Amino acid sequence: MEKWIRARYLPGIPLGKDGKRVTAGKENIVLSRRAAGEGMVLLKNQGVLPLRHGCRVALFGKASADYVKGGGGSGDVTVAYVRDMFDGMIEVMGEEAVYPGTMKYYRNYVAAQYEDHWVPGMVAEPPVPEVLLQEAREFTDTAVISISRFSGEDWDRKSDRAKITRKDPVTGDAVSMSDVLFERGDFYLSDAERTMVETVSQAFDKVIVVLNTGGMMETACFRNNPRIQGLLLAFQGGMEGACAAAELLAGVTCPSGKLPDTLAENLDDYPGCVDFYDSDTYVNYTEDIYVGYRYFETIAGAAEKVVYPFGFGLSYTRFSLSEQQVSFTEDEVEVRVKVTNDGGCPGREVVQVYFSAPQGLLGKPAKELAGYRKTKLLAPGETEEIAIRFPLSQMASYDDLGKVVRSARVLEKGEYRFFIGTSVRDGAWAEETWILAEDRVTEQLTARMVPTNLEKRLRADGSYEELPTAPCNDFNYTALAPMTPEVLFANPETRAIPRISHFAPKDGMKLKDVAEGKMTLEAFVAALPAEDLAALLGGQPNVGLANTFGYGNNPVYGIPNIMTADGPAGIRFHKNIGVTTTAFPCSTLLAASWDPELCGEVGTAVAQEAKENNIMVWLAPGVNIHRNPLCGRNFEYYSEDPLLAGKQAAGLVRGVQSEHIAATPKHFALNNKETNRRNCDARVSERAIREIYLRQFEIVVKEAHPWSLMSSYNIVNGHRASEYKDMLTGILREEWGFDGMVTTDWWTLGEHYKEVAAGNDMKMATGFPERLLEALEKGVLTREEMEKAAINVLRLILRID
């Protein structure tokens, strides 16, 4: 097939068997449902699950009819349908097994709320009519309560009563979404929800709660309530996630998900919540490397605040770990363990290995995830031997203050211990330890992204150490006259900017000459006029089904217009286009599967849907850290742990790019708050940046080799992320060896010429070629810098079929 035929002609050729489309096809929907079931986490089961064969159930809670498939904003997916819990339970158990009264009540109520412009997941909980409660109790002794949560791009979850608004990215106007009626905020149950749960749990002998949420929320109220015997964390499972939950409840499938986050009792128990709303212009990451379980398992008094620990998840069967062995080579640790299914049904288990490094001079978390492996589906009595390997250097800490060796990754002398289990708490310490006699530098680096306004950071003993500070307002400096908002947010479809060269190509050269090996990419770019270079470094108009613009678009030089699409729960098209796609589970659920191969299957399926619709670049996965439960976009991200996030996302990227479609990990970096995200400064130590907030990106880059990457809107230690050369060139390219293209997020406030100089190759959704040419003329941008960016853009295009 001719290269770039889909970009040039938009043929929309089906990729399925017998000429059928794969987009929103049966196979992908089945995969979405299977993936949902693999990641849902059973948190509590006091003999009530799985539901016995032939039993009947009554469903309560508006979420039974108001299933939230995923979050809002660019992470949304337009689908043909969404199944709710009533659909799922009826399909799995039979219509006669589900009490019809509440189904009619909740569906009518939700439909009326939608007509009143509410959105899924934001509908308030109605009271339970007494007559329905009595009828349901006569119908069955088993109740299933569903509770849902919704959040989205450009706004954060709230901790008290508030009106949720967002700003239109183009006009800047505030757009109201809805009133939040959760008096204590949506981390906690609302008063209405609490009343409903109490009413139902008092009326039924057997009560199960299903949490349909993309982010963390309170669970202590369910753990501590003896009248609630079952608790399933179902996350947001895509278009058929409710059916996957029903299959788990009924025992059609066996739960195998494990928590990718620590579930604490109160919102204030998370250290990142302390000053989350103190300012819209900055966030102080004073907890430093002590994020998630690193905090709860290390800091004195924090452990007792945990309701369910990181890595935890129940099953319907029992597993035993035996014959554990830890061995060492000169540069690697290997852990071997046999996993046996000792129960009565097939199931899967996740073996997790944690290490504990000596405190030394730098201080360390009590435990850190070193590796993990999920078993195959084990039949009762079946055993599988698991091997988990990781480099010794992975246990090194970064010394940013020179306590051992400045700007180096260091293994401090002492004893290194290894914990093998099925969660951060369920397991045992191995007898074998690794002892290091002298400090060892595993990698000498250069100080980069050093904070200037972070005054202190947490230490392992619970005290704080002071950090040096200095003023930094790098993002305020501009060598050219500032652009007006009208120009900055102008639609690339209507902007009058040069797109096609007025110069005849040198020797008639075309980009296909590079693809065919007739000339080098460097020579091709060197021959381009400055005007064409400038136009190449900005977003291009939409064609076909696309609504997020494209890259390339210079027909004179044979450069195709490569289209992009949002993610990460599937390919996102606007509703008015009329094309529906498959909505896969949210990223947090995929992380909870602890299965990179499953993520790879999802990535492959999404890439096929992209290719079939002439989309060549998928703007996913999102891999930012779950620093705080309130981040409105946590559903798009994987975990509080960078190793888990990185490994799972790497699996997804490999799947996407196996179909010659580009993946785009985002948002690089520290985009952990949506409020005022374009002007909020993340103030973070260099150690926390390297060990926590860049670590998952590093894993993805080194293991999956993504062809593109997206920088974030926010400011990091006084520098706009899209203009931060230390991060984009120093760390990403020089240290990690990234050879892909970096794009900005859409409509960033960064200066285009400063972004290009920093190593940010593409400005989206529109570039400003006239600004680049002006900067080139004034000497604040070089031709060499523009050529480097153009080479990265064209290399991406050359990789796509």
Residue 648 or residue 158, greater confidence: 648
Nearest Cα to Cα of residue 284 among 293, 271, 295, 294: 271
Tokens for 331, please give them: 């540069």
682-712 as b/e, with b when 16 or more CB fall inside 10 Å? bbbbbbbbbbbbbbbbbbbbebbbbbbbbbb
- Tell me what pLDDT residue 487 has: 77
| Cα–Cα dist 410/393, whole Å | 8
- Tell me what pLDDT residue 149 has: 95
Tens of pLDDT, residue by residue over 528-576, are 999 999 999 999 999 999 999 999 999 999 999 999 999 999 999 999 9
- Note if 745 is an active site residue: yes
pTM greater than 0.85 (yes/no): yes
Nearest Cα to Cα of residue 660 among 601, 619, 604: 604
Q: In whole numbers, what is the pLDDT of the chain averaged over residues?
A: 93
For range 136-165, the mean pLDDT: 84
For range 289-302, the mean pLDDT: 98
Lowest mean pLDDT among 8-17, 373-382, 389-398, 454-463: 8-17
Indicate whether 753 pLDDT > 60. Answer: yes
Indicate whether 496 pLDDT > 50. Answer: no
What percent of the chain shows pLDDT beyond 90? 88
User: What's the one-letter identity of residue 556?
Assistant: V
- Tell me what pLDDT residue 495 has: 62
| Cα–Cα dist 704/657, whole Å | 9
What percent of the chain shows pLDDT beyond 70? 94
Please tell me the CATH superfamily of domain 315-448, with its number.
Immunoglobulins (2.60.40.10)
| Cα–Cα dist 213/585, whole Å | 11
Residue 365 or residue 471, greater confidence: 365
Where are the alpha helices (H) located in 431-483, listed in sequence order? none
Tens of pLDDT, residue by residue over 27-36, are 999 999 999 9
For range 419-437, the mean pLDDT: 98
- Tell me what pLDDT residue 634 has: 97
For range 442-450, the mean pLDDT: 97
Tokens for 166, please give them: 């967002």
Architecture of domain 474-799: Alpha-Beta Barrel (3.20)
- Tell me what pLDDT residue 499 has: 52
| Cα–Cα dist 434/420, whole Å | 15
- Tell me what pLDDT residue 626 has: 98
Structural contact between residues 347 and 315, judged by C-beta atoms closer than 8 angstroms? yes
User: What's the one-letter identity of residue 689?
Assistant: I
Lowest mean pLDDT among 230-234, 264-268, 469-473: 469-473
- The pLDDT confidence band at residue 473, using thresholds 50, 70 and 90, is low
Indicate whether 301 pLDDT > 70. Answer: yes
- Tell me what pLDDT residue 117 has: 84
Lowest mean pLDDT among 105-119, 256-270, 272-286: 272-286
Indicate whether 165 pLDDT > 50. Answer: no
For range 447-472, the mean pLDDT: 93
- Tell me what pLDDT residue 298 has: 98
| Cα–Cα dist 351/389, whole Å | 12
Indicate whether 770 pLDDT > 60. Answer: yes
For range 70-97, the mean pLDDT: 97
**Cβ neighbours around 624 below 10 Å, total:** 26
Indicate whether 2 pLDDT > 90. Answer: no
Q: Determine which one of 154, 745, 761, 801 is catalytic.
A: 745
Q: Per DSSP, which regions of 604-738 are E strands?
A: 617-619, 662-663, 681-683, 708-710, 715-716, 719-720
Indicate whether 23 pLDDT > 80. Answer: yes
Nearest Cα to Cα of residue 216 among 279, 143, 176, 269: 269
| Domain spanning 41-254, CATH class | alpha beta
The H or E element that residue 209 is part of is: strand 206-212
For range 47-54, the mean pLDDT: 96
The gap from C-alpha 167 to its chain's centroid, in whole angstroms, comes to 22
Lowest mean pLDDT among 114-128, 343-357, 777-791: 114-128
CA atoms within a 13 Å half-sphere pointing along the CA-CB vector of 383: 9
100 contacts: CB under 8 Å, gap ≥ 6: none
Indicate whether 182 pLDDT > 80. Answer: no
Residue 173 or residue 679, greater confidence: 679
Structural contact between residues 732 and 738, judged by C-beta atoms closer than 8 angstroms? yes
- The pLDDT confidence band at residue 118, using thresholds 50, 70 and 90, is confident
Indicate whether 49 pLDDT > 80. Answer: yes
Lowest mean pLDDT among 2-11, 93-102, 157-166, 366-375: 157-166
What are the residue boundaries of the structural domains of the chain, listed by start?
41-254, 315-448, 474-799
| Cα–Cα dist 598/640, whole Å | 20
- Tell me what pLDDT residue 469 has: 87
Residues in the chain: 801
Indicate whether 613 pLDDT > 90. Answer: yes
Structural contact between residues 662 and 705, judged by C-beta atoms closer than 8 angstroms? no
For range 124-142, the mean pLDDT: 97
| Cα–Cα dist 408/442, whole Å | 8
- Tell me what pLDDT residue 172 has: 46
- Tell me what pLDDT residue 494 has: 65
Indicate whether 505 pLDDT > 80. Answer: no
Tens of pLDDT, residue by residue over 386-424, are 999 999 999 999 999 999 999 999 999 999 999 999 999
Indicate whether 171 pLDDT > 90. Answer: no
| Cα–Cα dist 161/399, whole Å | 42
